[in-house]
Structure 1
Amino acid sequence: MSIIGVRIDGRLIHGQVANLWTTKLNISRIMVVDNVVCNNAIEKSGLKLATPSGVKLSVLPVEKAAANILAGKYDSQRLLIVAKKPETLYELVEAGVPIEEINVGNMSQSTTTRSITKSINVDDNDINYFNKLNEKGVKLVAQMVPSDKAEDFMSFLTK
């Protein structure tokens, strides 16, 4: 299996993902999984611009992403999956994609969220899906950049 990393980041591709994580994990393809962004030409253009040279980009809905991964389409590549919300990654797991660990990065603040770290804000729906992923045996860690220590994300939800 070619999945090297899986990250939740509301910003999708930006400095931390494009430069730090892609380099640290030696990524050859970033896959953005989002049922809305995949149909937005402007957002897709922005993601292409943010993707480092030499790294391929896929922007796919959940169903197509799962089908491509399970068909072995990326087996010869080092794949980083990025999604905005835990719900999206739960849908991939439910579709049979073998995700062992998720790095919870930046989740932006909104009127419905509460802060659990300085850069992670969750609402009740997010918490529900984090719990479901945890119950499925997916390890959840909080680590903004590679130089930070990876911390058990679920411990933040119980504070």
Structure 2
Amino acid sequence: MISMLRVDDRLIHGQVAVVWSRYLGVNRIVVVNDEVVKNEMQIMSLKMAVPEGIKPFFVTVDKAISLLNNPKSQQLKIFVIVDKPLDALKIVQKVDGIPLVNLGNYGRVNGEKMNEKRQLGKNIFVKKDEEQILQDLLKAGVKINIQPVPTDQNLNLKDVL
């Protein structure tokens, strides 16, 4: 069963690996990214951040949809991580039972001009087209929050868009 889908352009790091995975009590982390699966060096470095006892998977968006729709997934506690809202939307549109999309960190590391982005939360910066993707996520009927770590304020995306 999917515990949470997180949008975080850093993928696996301290907040994800230690804080969220423990808070959610997951036994699987599924990193969904069409580029990362082609980069063995990046996969190796991301694996080093995964806590003991949690099995990581690195898959494409299409493979993730298939994996998450597999009935065997219902027996696991899965934390899904994507690095962009568009991938989250693709998954939400094709996978049932996602209880929460969490916007954790997005929009500061891509080297894009910050003055062309709107800040939605402490660590969330989006361009106009990404705002539309977030609107589409809301229309899909999934709960979406902005919360870097569980102890931070939990903002509902509807309230800030």
Q: Same fold (TM over 0.5)?
A: yes
Decide which of 142, 146, 152 is 1:148's aligned counterpart: 152
Q: State the Cα deviation string for residues 30-86 of structure 1 (Å, max 9, x = none).
A: 001111111111111111111111100011101111111112232221100011111
CA contact (8 A) 2:26 2:79 kept: yes
Aligned to 1:115: 119
Q: Which amino acid aligns with 2:56?
A: L
109-118 or 137-146: which moved more? 109-118
CA drift of 1:146 comes to 0.9
Aligned to 2:23: 24
Aligned to 1:85: 84
Report the TM-score when normalising by structure 2. Answer: 0.90
Q: CA RMSD in A?
A: 1.4
Q: Tell me, in whole angstroms, the C-alpha distance in 1 between the residues paired with 2:146 and 2:16.
A: 14
> Unaligned 5+ residue runs, structure 2?
none
CA contact (8 A) 2:121 2:146 kept: no
Aligned to 1:132: 136
Matched residue pairs, number? Answer: 156
CA drift of 1:5 comes to 1.2
CA contact (8 A) 2:3 2:100 kept: no
Q: Tell me, in whole angstroms, the C-alpha distance in 1 between the residues paired with 2:101 and 2:156.
A: 11
Q: Tell me, in whole angstroms, the C-alpha distance in 1 between the residues paired with 2:77 and 2:159.
A: 30
Report the TM-score when normalising by structure 1. Answer: 0.91
> Unaligned 5+ residue runs, structure 1?
none
Aligned to 2:45: 46
CA drift of 1:124 comes to 1.8
